[in-house]
Amino acid sequence: MTITFTPSHPIWCAGCGHFGVKNAIVNALAAIDQPAHDTMVLAGIGCSGTIQNNIDSYGYHALHGRVLPTALGVKLANPDLMVIAAGGDGDGYAIGAGHLVHAFKRNPSVVYVLMNNGIYGLTKGQRSPTAEQIDPTTERSIDGISLGLSIPGSSFLARAYSGAADQLNAVMVAALQHAAAGRGFAFVEVMSPCVTYNDTYADWSGRVTDVTAMEGYDPTSRIAAFSTVHTLAEQGRIPTGLIYQSDAPSYESAWKKEGFNVPARIDVSRSIHQNSYSSIMEKYAF
């Protein structure tokens, strides 16, 4: 066997929430029997953005904020891969916010794990768009699930908490299954405390609320989900669990139609295509 990259050890501070996220991804990949070589983990820039080094798969370290476009490119060029994008709240909600909106809109079958710690870890603690208080401004924090609900086309919206491994594992498995089944964009926000700059374990532990456990909760209703999310938020609670799932068509399904052939594997030798090329050239004849 060829010796190749083996996952390295995380470099996070002891107690960092990101450990739990890594474990959940590793567990979920195992749970669905996903082969390492058909898996690609792409990460943004941040403390969160080193997670790909610790998972047995193809790994990629994107530009800050651009992990979703790169993941989309990978998925479209090779829809057979399990594509997992990961990154922080700065990466995803600040510099990457526009791409997130368009990922919800397009709905490619990519898993996106956003590790929310309310701050920029790697650059030493500046406030992120999910910081609950930003001085000296009056800004309120962004809610990624609410944002996802607002975009027609979104198909899987879940939240988990790094301090609650069982639910996190379950949500992660569901997300991978959603993507594996070609059902579209699986968004998982993990509340993942930064013990060094924003230790929220105590606070969050008391606030997370599993919607799945709420009586009569219907994750297939966009309107009900929005209402629940905002009602809980007003009560100071953090809704978790599989909050919304739909059957919106996936982005790559549209491409798969017309003679689509896994671009990454097309044989592009001239001999095969020369006739097509010639007939196109003929249209310019003069």
Ligand X SMILES: Cc1ncc(C[n+]2csc(CCOP(=O)(O)OP(=O)(O)O)c2C)c(N)n1
Q: Return residues touching ligand X (CB under 6 A).
A: 44-48, 64, 87-91, 115, 117, 119-123, 128
Spell out, one character per residue from 99 to 118, where the chain touches Mg ion: x when CB under 5 A holds, - when not. Answer: ------------------x-
- Applying the rule CB under 8 A, the residues between 125 and 184 that interact with its own copies are 129, 135-143, 146-147, 149-153
CA distances (Å), 261 to each of 76, 77, 80, 265, 271, in order? 11, 9, 11, 7, 17
Interface residue with its own copies among 96, 118, 163, 219 (CB under 8 A) is 96
With respect to ligand SF4, which residue has the nearer C-beta, 121 or 148? 121
- The set of residues, in sequence order, having a beta carbon less than 8 Å from that of 56 and lying 6+ positions away, is 6, 7, 26, 36
Identify which range of 38-46, 163-171, 194-202, 250-258 contacts its own copies by CB under 8 A: 250-258
Pick from 47, 143, 30: nearest CA to 82: 30
Exposed (0-12), middle (13-18) or buried (19+): which is 268, by Cβ within 10 Å? exposed
61 binds its own copies (CB under 8 A): no
Query: Residues near 106 by Cβ (< 8 Å), separated by ≥ 6?
Result: 72, 153, 185, 251
The interface region with another protein, picked from 7-15, 19-27, 156-164, 214-222 by CB under 8 A, is: 7-15
Question: Three-state DSSP class for 78?
Answer: coil
Quick one: 223 or 285, whose CB is closer to another protein? Answer: 285
Between 80 and 218, name the residue whose CB sits nearer to another protein. Answer: 80
Nearest-approach distance from CB 37 to ligand X, in angstroms: 27
CB of 171 to ligand X, least distance (A): 19
Question: In residues, how long is the chain?
Answer: 286
CA distance linking residue 219 with residue 51, whole number of Å? 29
Please state whether beta strands 39-43 and 186-191 pair in parallel, antiparallel, or not at all (unpaired). Answer: unpaired
Question: Which residue, 215 or 276, has its beta carbon nearer to another protein?
Answer: 276
Site string for another protein, 118-147 (x = CB under 8 A): --xxxxx-xx-x------xx----------
Nearer to Mg ion, 119 or 211 (CB): 119
Q: Which of 65, 88, 108, 153 binds Mg ion (CB under 5 A)?
A: 88
* Eight-class DSSP state of 191: E
Using CB under 8 A, pick the residue from 59, 144, 193, 241 that binds another protein: 59
Nearer to Mg ion, 89 or 189 (CB): 89
* Rounded distance between C-alpha atoms, residue 93 and residue 204, angstroms: 20
Does 54 help bind Mg ion (rule: CB under 5 A)?
A: no
Q: Which residue is nearest to Mg ion (CB)?
A: 88
* 112 in contact with another protein (CB under 8 A): no
Residue with tokens 């030493």: 124
The burial of 122, by beta-carbon neighbours within 10 Å (0-12 exposed, 13-18 middle, 19 or more buried), is given as: middle
CB of 130 to ligand X, least distance (A): 8
